[in-house]
Amino acid sequence: MSKKEIDNRFSKFGTVSFTGITRINDFIGYLEQGKLMGTKCKKCGIHYFPPRADCSHSLDSDMEWFEVQGAGKLLSFSTLTFAPTGFTQDLPYTIAVLDYGDYKVFGRVDKAVAENDLAVGMAMKAVVQQLPNEHITYVFQKA
């Protein structure tokens, strides 16, 4: 196998920018299996989402994957009416942060959920969603 072969699975991840993340293309592989994953430092136990290849606390690279499961608490949300080029066709959409205790997950709220139904503190869960053109993402739904 050529060393120049480029792992381009991240190009399938359509709607949330994970620019700057390296060595974690397995994230997309897991999404394709319907799993939303973060990473956890084996040494100090810190959870990272989006996943990181290195722990910013202990500077360790000994990380393991964990699955984002169950419900988190809606910490904050905001409906966007402006977006970078390439994302404007999706407008408007609502971004949100869920608090899972050990970590927080940033993402979009499912379009099927009305903004009026959202309230800080409510329980929501992340669900992997297949998009057109073989893109894949995850959205938040009511838990």
Task: Say how far apart CA 91 and CA 99 lie, in whole Å.
Answer: 25
Q: According to DSSP H, which parts of the chain are helical?
A: 26-32
How far apart CA 12 and CA 135 sit, in angstroms, is: 4
* Residue number with CB closer to Zn ion (41 or 139): 41
Name the strand (E) or helix (H) holding 93: strand 93-99
In the complex, the residues that contact Zn ion under the rule CB under 5 A are: 41, 43-44, 55, 57-58, 60
Beta carbon nearer to Zn ion, 25 or 58: 58
Distance between CA 138 and CA 126 in Å, rounded?
6
Least CB distance from residue 83 to Zn ion, whole Å? 34
Q: How far is the CB of 39 from Zn ion (least distance, A)?
A: 10
Question: 86 or 101: whose CB is closer to Zn ion?
Answer: 101
Q: Find the shortest distance in angstroms from Cβ 126 to Zn ion.
A: 24
